[in-house]
Amino acid sequence: LRFGRLLLTGAAGGLGRELRPRLKAYCKTLRLSDRADLGAQQTGEEIRLVELGDRAAVRSLLEGVDAAVHLGGVSLEGPFDPICEANIVGAYNLYEAARVNGVKRIVFASSNHVTGFYRQDEVISPADPMRPDGLYGISKAFGESLSRFYFDRYGIETACLRIGSSFTAPKDRRMLATWMSYDDLERLVVSCLTAPVVGHSVVYGVSANRTVWWDNTSARHLGYVPQDSSEPFRAEVEARQPSVDVNDPVQIYQGGAFVRQGPFE
Ligand code: 15L
């Protein structure tokens, strides 16, 4: 047990549900928040139904918290207003709440869609300029900039996780490169919570796959060593998706299907 109280936002989402039981091992109390139903409160849990756009509610959500894992928000490409409310206003509310309540470390779920307009034949690193592939990616880019400011100005440490595709298994050829197992997700989040120094770091959330688009060398101080790989799924994925259309933007760019969505007005 390293923490008295940890906060997990977005606890009802796909990754929140995975991390909920896993993070309990690292804290006395796990505070869980979401706008959606979180089910029954288990021993060692505190459940809070909170809209990230509600500044006062988010402020009290971070009271008495040692560190936060911020997964909350819209997780897909879509119209601007909901993304703005949850991901842009919501991220601001969260960092202001961290500042006011003295929370010193945040693990922020960013996304590979911050750099989704790089090509699948390029290997990039967190040092490369952002190339968001839509409004969702732009909102995550905002979160990365915001957290950098809160580190430079107020000393609040953040690890920005540019999560690839964290599902039970890779679903298509793209995910052979972008896949991160749930066990590696846990390893990454725990590394970021427990590393002696995080500062402001950006790391791609990906397993040790054979096909590599992202170079995490600059984040080695976090101590994240992925143990899983998409390789055992390759034969099955390639059989299901036998050919790749090299002229299709979905197969040209790292962001996949996200790159050709919208406009929404
Ligand atoms: C994301 O950011 C989404 O939240 C997730 O549902 C996946 O689509 C993932 O990216 C991906 O790029 O595969």
CATH number at residue 73: 3.40.50.720
Q: Name residue, tokens 């992202």.
A: 214
Count of domains in the chain? 1
CA geometry: angle at 129 spanning 162 and 137, to 5°? 45
Question: Residue 165: CB within 6 Å of ligand 1?
Answer: yes
* Cα–ligand 1 centroid distance for 257 (angstroms): 10
Is 265 contained in some domain?
A: no
Whether 171 shows a pLDDT value over 90: the answer reads: yes
**Atom 11 (ligand 1) nearest CA:** 165
Question: Residue 178: CB within 6 Å of ligand 1?
Answer: yes
How many Cβ atoms from other residues are within 10 Å of residue 12's Cβ?
20
Q: What percent of the chain has pLDDT over 70?
A: 100
* Contact in structure between 101 and 38 (CB atoms under 8 Å): no
What pLDDT does 1 receive? 75
* Cα–ligand 1 centroid distance for 112 (angstroms): 8
* Cα–ligand 1 centroid distance for 210 (angstroms): 20
Marked catalytic residue, from 95, 136, 204, 253: 136
**Exposure letters 81-112 (e unless 16+ CB within 10 A, then b):** eebbbbbbbbbbbbbbbbbebebebbbbbbbb
Cα separation, 37 vs 135, whole angstroms = 26
Q: What is the mean pLDDT of residues 214-231?
A: 98
Is 219 contained in some domain?
A: yes
Q: What is the mean pLDDT of the chain?
A: 98
Q: Is 26 considered catalytic here?
A: no
Q: What is the mean pLDDT of residues 222-239?
A: 98
Edge-to-edge strands, sheet with 105-111: 45-49, 27-34, 3-9, 67-70, 105-111, 157-163, 200-205
Cα separation, 135 vs 38, whole angstroms = 27
Question: Residue 75: CB within 6 Å of ligand 1?
Answer: yes
Tell which atom from ligand 1 comes closest to the C-alpha of 165: 13
The domain containing residue 159 runs over which residues? 3-260
DSSP letter assigned to residue 221: G
* Cα–ligand 1 centroid distance for 143 (angstroms): 16
Tell which atom from ligand 1 comes closest to the C-alpha of 75: 4
The kind and range of the H/E element at 137 are helix 135-154
Is 106 contained in some domain?
A: yes
Q: What is the mean pLDDT of residues 135-140?
A: 99
Q: What is the mean pLDDT of residues 166-171?
A: 98
Is 23 contained in some domain?
A: yes
pLDDT in tens, 3-62: 999 999 999 999 999 999 999 999 999 999 999 999 999 999 999 999 999 999 999 999
Question: Residue 113: CB within 6 Å of ligand 1?
Answer: yes
What pLDDT does 2 receive? 86
What pLDDT does 211 receive? 97
The region that residue 153 occupies, defined by phi over 0 for left and psi between -120 and 50 for alpha, beta otherwise, is alpha
Is 53 contained in some domain?
A: yes
